[in-house]
Structure 1
Amino acid sequence: MTDPTDLPERRPRTVGRLSRRAVVAAFGAAGFVALPAWPDKTWAADAGPDAPGGPVLDTHPATEPSGTHVRDVGGTNVVFQYGTVLPAFDGWRTHEPTREYLSLDRRWRFRFDPGNRALGEGWESPHFDDGAWGLIDVPAAWDLLDTPGFASQTAAFGKGTAFADGYAWYRTVVDIPASWRGRHVRMAFLAAGYSAEVWLDGRYLGKHEGANSPFALPVSGALRPGTRQTIAVRVFRRASYTDYTAATPQPVTDDHQIPYKPVDYWPYAGLTRSAWIEAVPQVTIAKLLVVGASGKLEARAVVENHGASDFDGYLTLDPGRASGGRSAVAAARIPAGSVGVVTVSVPIPGARRWSPGSPHLFTARAALTARRPGGPRVDTLSARYGVRDVSVGDAELRLNGRPVFLKGLNWHEETAAHGRAMTPVEYDKELGHIRELGVNFIRNCVYNRHPYVYDWADEHGVMVMDDMDTMWLNTAQEKLQTERYGLARALALTMAWNQHNHPSVILWGLQNESEIDTGGAPVYRAWLADLKAAVKAVDLTARPVTWASSTSNDPAFDIADVIGFNEYFGYFHGKDADLGPTLDAVHAKYPGKPILITENGTWSVAGTHGPSTTQGTEEWQAASFEAHWAQVAERSEFVAGFTYWVLKDYKQRAGYNQNYNGISVMGMLTFAEERPKLAYEAFRRAAGPRAV
């Protein structure tokens, strides 16, 4: 796997010619790389067999199974997975006219495999009889397949499919159109928790690890257009504990997985987001990277040639209505079996800037044509963008050159009815609270969200800190991930690549409360430096990086662009009034860096009232927030914002809160009914010292 720190700087090379339609800077594909070879069968695993009678553990290859890495293609760093460019996942909402789509959102055959016997019995084979299996919707979380009382705060903990772990299988049949002959075809999944292996008509396509990141598997080698074929998916979830209801639950861990041990949010299992098959031309625009800044649009079209003949044509870029820019054309010459990048820079004098108060958006559209401008159209791909700039300086976080104060919320992506497989109506209701509360910032703790969320934030002017699953690692896991397995780096690369074009995303979050063992600071620093290098390698806009540290004395804060830490003064330790002096001490040590409170909060049981000094009352929760907010607002010259923990009560399988059926009551809203507590109104009233 390529180390991002070894990559050269991105410097476009001018090898094309000026557009015939507009006087712009236009560049052809400047250098190519061959499409990587990819194994056509699973790799040998290095994990030993499960202990007799013990929990089922997943197997792992020597390095994370998708082969995620970054390569310099003509001065642009491109992310590869499964032997191809990691493509845009816009097919969940946008269907390009040059492509064909087959939705896999449907009812599938479903069966648990608690004894891990399925591979020996041929469950992946198209000839296997699954007629006796049950049914499950895709998308859905199998946790809610049969768990009565899942949303109740008084139901018994530890029962139902919410606690079914190990392997489960999905099967469906699809009619492959005959028109797909000669096309490049991939199967896309927006999420599979925790890991997934995929077969088409018994042929193994690949494995993905990471519960909340999308992936796309090339299927052309297994495809038989004009026939009916069987898709089989084996999904794995590790148990959190050997016995969920034991007086002292024993955790189940796996050093290769992220997170490697039980965490305090619910690890929803199954195919929890949409899936589809996409047939694209042999010469295709896999990804369109766009940057809007300083009155111009720079677009880099990553073009794959899966065919046997060299491609010699043009790429036309339309910067979008209301941008004030005109279409431009650049040469596109991509050898057979290669990847190239075509760069076009277009003035957009009419494009207004994106900001929370004015979230202006534009749609850039790239079109490949053969031989000549206006010739036969080969492929198209569009991307939405905004014109904005994020920077850090003099202890300020700045948007479009102006200091910004973030009034923020943490939130978990789940509802009582559907878990993490939320519907658009549920997203609108959940995110509607954010607007009602006057929030201008959300932290996607501690995993990537459905693409709907980033689109919503772009449209509504809500800034985003994107996070990934790197939560509660210890020194041993940090070392393993950095030096050998590489899953943490893969998650960082795919996060920055997938969310690159969203103007709402202003910060990359690298980890949450990972441990710094005695003597482990060098390993911890090397791990964070590796993750920072990964996101910086592919982000053309150079967004700042931060993380949610468990301490205000983090030994790697010098690496961060924005200092972020979680603080629970007056709850887990110390007094509420300790926050102010702590912020002053951090600022004195790092005077040029802005500080962001990435978490603070307490808890209350809805309907419990009493003095504001009594823990667990709604009054105490509200008063604690007000005390912390005041100390932050007083220091807005170097504190960039405050992110409350958490919008809504949430489910978790950690070994506490079992008396509430696993519901953490730290939210401002209740879990199922979404009723507001007193903290909700206190937060709504809180005014930031400045706005953008």
Structure 2
Amino acid sequence: MDTSHKLSRRDFLKASAGAAGTLMALSLAQARAMRAVQQREPMRTEVRDIDGTPVVFQYGQPVPSFDTWREREPCREYIDLNGLWKFRFDPADDGLSKGWHTPGHDDSGWHRVQVPLPWDLYDTPNFGSYDGSRYGTGTAFYDGYAWYRKQVHVPANWSNKIVRLFFLGANYRTWVYINGQLVGVHEGGHTPFALDITTHILKGENTIAVRVYRRPWWSSYDPSVPNPTPITDDRELPYKPVDYWPYAGLIRDVYIEATSQINIVKLLTATSASTLDLRVIVQNNSHKHLTRTLSVDPGEGTGAAPQSRVIQLSPNQVTAVQFTFELPSATPWDTAHPILYRLVATLYPGRGDRGVENRRPPEDSLSVRYGVRSVEVRNGRLLLNGRPIFLKGVNWHEETAERGRSLTLEEYDRELGLVLDTHANFIRNCVYNRHPYVYEFADTHGLLVLDDIDNMWLDTAQEDLQTQSYGLSRALALMMAWNQANHPSVIMWCLQNESQIWADTQVYREWIRDMKEAVQSIDLQHRPVTWASSSSWDPAFDLADVIGFNEYFGYFYGQDSDLGPVLDAVHASYPDKPILITENGTWSIYGDHGSAEQPGTEEWHAAKFLAHWQQVMDPSRLGFIAGYTFWLLKDYKELMTYNRNLNGISTMGLVTFDTEAHRLVYNEFKGAANPLP
């Protein structure tokens, strides 16, 4: 692998002139003045009211279900694109002008790489080691443009089908070409997207070319260079270097799905104690007026009978069909008994009663697994199925030393198995959406989830830009709620992490309000909304359903003992809102033992946790504390200027990054009993 080409700051600024740019030196007033020339985010994310149901659209199409990444539907056909692709770095950004996207381009000299896998792991020796002697070398430190190419054979019988290309994650900005034609552009490294490629795909051989861009975060990654300059782009999220590793390239699964021209795009479920409210989003991609019978089976064990309905669709129409089911036999989903039901919606040609339609082949089907449960905030308490719950949780970065952010299912099982072993009932997906398997694991194992998006460390100018013109913050919030809508494990939405709150409180509140309204506009389950504030005195806490803040008393500021009085004061100001500690922790060097008073020892790490946990567990506070979330499950890679001597690894985890060895604090956290099991 050729690793000699890296973009300098000068190259980066040249490549981004007229495209990304930077508002780094602009005042807020200047940034506002530039709104007229700022483009919107490239997916054109919007919510449309379809027959009384809010539906998220991107690229002018309703966003489909991504559950089919593994739950392959019997009426549909698939091509799995995971595996070997051709790959080449493009340090001069001249691949497009050289025709790297075209079918006739000679890619025989390109590298063959595995997808999914971040290009950081293609050739970076000792990436997972704590030895920082080679920090700054390898493909992990290549920034800029790179290309992927793959030949795909499409069956002849797909000529009358709708064909969509699915990406579960590509970081950061992605351009997708089919047979030399640009199909779509996506921004955001951790949100799945799908493109309708029906008019671009040919029967027989096709060339898929994908161009991916990652912004340089620093002017230099050489540890010997003092005070490197951070490189920013006000429209990106995150817009500046933040405290994690920005794994680049095709980092999650890629596949093609072919459906009938009239197909079920998405299922939306909302349940109460014994009722299911279902919305079935159906799209007619043909130019004909069509009549179909839509049948829905809510699942074995619910006690509910299937229902059918005749629907009529105009050419190119999207409709939303609502069903209500009484579920007399359904068992509630909770952490101790995570009972799931499998709902199947099926489209049959024509009209008729259920007996007739069962004798005709189905045209399309889509299934979803759901749980019967409720989440609400009432009288200052967070309630699951009407009873108070305490969230004993951990933050967790989705990565391993071997595969970065492209985990295998076995790695996910191992990582999340550690969460279960600590007797935690809660994970915070800091600070981005996870692979769909994570939510499926949580559903089946009774883990509660706070889902999160990439709004980390924004300053006021960027908050204002996102709200007033660019709209990527809102788009990510909408996609989070849309994609995770049916998972019973997801009980809250998190809007941002440690962003600027005081420079202009009106701008900040507008940003928070815009995202909250977006989430609430489409979440039929009305989950609570929170965020991970950098302050226990956030000026927008009145907008939160659950007050969430990161606290590091006794580590970054103040004393350990300050936590309890602060919790009491926040509760006194917002007595109707439960409080969730979204982060708390310190650090230690694995194997360094000594006094609990000595920073960096495992004993000090464990003692710090206990000091905070005990204040949360005070009986006088358990009536308003929703939970405590430790920072964090496992050591993690970050691309900041600190910890370069440790190869960019932060040592704040319960376990180590490379071997996942347990620190003392792991046992203390595991032994901390949940007061409301």
- Normalising by structure 1, we get a TM-score of 0.91
Contact 1:57 1:166 in 2 (8 A): no
Question: Does 2:144 correspond to 1:166?
Answer: yes
C-alpha distance in structure 2 between counterparts of 1:357 and 1:294, whole Å: 17
Q: How far 1:71 sits from its partner (Å)?
A: 0.5
Partner of 1:363: 342
Partner of 2:312: 333
Q: How far 1:292 sits from its partner (Å)?
A: 2.4
Partner of 1:260: 239
Q: How far 1:293 sits from its partner (Å)?
A: 1.7
Contact 1:474 1:517 in 2 (8 A): no
Partner of 2:209: 232
C-alpha distance in structure 2 between counterparts of 1:311 and 1:340, whole Å: 12
Percent of residue pairs identical: 53
Look up the equivalent residue of 2:169 and give its one-letter code: A
C-alpha distance in structure 2 between counterparts of 1:637 and 1:80, whole Å: 41
Residues 384-426 of structure 1 show CA distances to partners (whole Å, capped at 9, x for unaligned) of: 0000000101221000000000000000000000000000000
C-alpha distance in structure 2 between counterparts of 1:552 and 1:57, whole Å: 38
C-alpha distance in structure 1 between counterparts of 2:628 and 2:584, whole Å: 8
Partner of 2:537: 553
Q: How far 1:55 sits from its partner (Å)?
A: 7.2
Q: How far 1:335 sits from its partner (Å)?
A: 1.1
Other structure's SS at 1:611 match: coil
Partner of 2:91: 114
Other structure's SS at 2:399 match: coil
Question: Does 2:280 correspond to 1:301?
Answer: yes
Alignment CA distance shift 1:193-1:53 (3 Å): closer
From 326, 347, 353, the counterpart of 1:347: 326
From 184, 188, 203, the counterpart of 1:210: 188
Residues 161-197 of structure 1 show CA distances to partners (whole Å, capped at 9, x for unaligned) of: 0000000000010001111011111100000011110
Alignment of 1:360-439 (within 5 A): 360-372=339-351, 373=353, 374-375=356-357, 376=360, 377-439=362-424
Q: How far 1:614 sits from its partner (Å)?
A: 0.8
C-alpha distance in structure 2 between counterparts of 1:57 and 1:689, whole Å: 53
Partner of 1:141: 118
Other structure's SS at 2:97 match: helix
Contact 1:57 1:238 in 2 (8 A): no
Partner of 2:434: 449
Alignment of 1:510-659 (within 5 A): 510-518=495-503, 520-634=504-618, 635-659=621-645
Partner of 2:300: 321
Partner of 1:179: 157
C-alpha distance in structure 2 between counterparts of 1:214 and 1:552, whole Å: 33
Partner of 1:505: 490
Other structure's SS at 1:88 match: coil
C-alpha distance in structure 2 between counterparts of 1:481 and 1:655, whole Å: 27
C-alpha distance in structure 1 between counterparts of 2:656 and 2:616, whole Å: 26
Residues 310-358 of structure 1 show CA distances to partners (whole Å, capped at 9, x for unaligned) of: 1212211101011111101122222111100011111111110000011
Look up the equivalent residue of 1:667 and give its one-letter code: G
Question: Does 2:56 correspond to 1:79?
Answer: yes
C-alpha distance in structure 2 between counterparts of 1:399 and 1:54, whole Å: 50
Contact 2:12 2:144 in 1 (8 A): no
Question: Does 2:103 correspond to 1:126?
Answer: yes
Structure 2, unaligned runs of 5 or more: 1-8, 21-37
Other structure's SS at 2:171 match: coil
Q: How far 1:57 sits from its partner (Å)?
A: 3.7
Runs of 4+ deviating beyond 4 Å: 50-56
Q: How far 1:56 sits from its partner (Å)?
A: 4.4
Question: Does 2:652 correspond to 1:666?
Answer: yes
Which 10-residue stretch deviates more, 401-410 or 375-384? Answer: 375-384
Q: How far 1:294 sits from its partner (Å)?
A: 2.7
Partner of 1:31: none
The alignment of Structure 1 onto Structure 2 pairs a total of residues equal to 641
Contact 1:57 1:254 in 2 (8 A): no
Look up the equivalent residue of 1:243 and give its one-letter code: S
Contact 1:114 1:166 in 2 (8 A): yes
Q: How far 1:611 sits from its partner (Å)?
A: 0.7
Look up the equivalent residue of 2:575 and give its one-letter code: P
Q: How far 1:371 sits from its partner (Å)?
A: 1.8
Q: How far 1:368 sits from its partner (Å)?
A: 1.0
Contact 2:12 2:216 in 1 (8 A): no
Contact 2:273 2:332 in 1 (8 A): no
Contact 1:668 1:680 in 2 (8 A): yes
Other structure's SS at 2:439 match: helix
Q: How far 1:361 sits from its partner (Å)?
A: 0.3
Contact 2:89 2:147 in 1 (8 A): yes
Partner of 1:100: 77
Question: Does 2:467 correspond to 1:490?
Answer: no
Contact 2:346 2:365 in 1 (8 A): yes
C-alpha distance in structure 2 between counterparts of 1:404 and 1:160, whole Å: 46
From 274, 279, 294, the counterpart of 2:253: 274
C-alpha distance in structure 2 between counterparts of 1:400 and 1:202, whole Å: 52
C-alpha distance in structure 2 between counterparts of 1:62 and 1:504, whole Å: 36
Structure 1, unaligned runs of 5 or more: 1-49
Coordinate RMSD, CA, aligned: 1.3
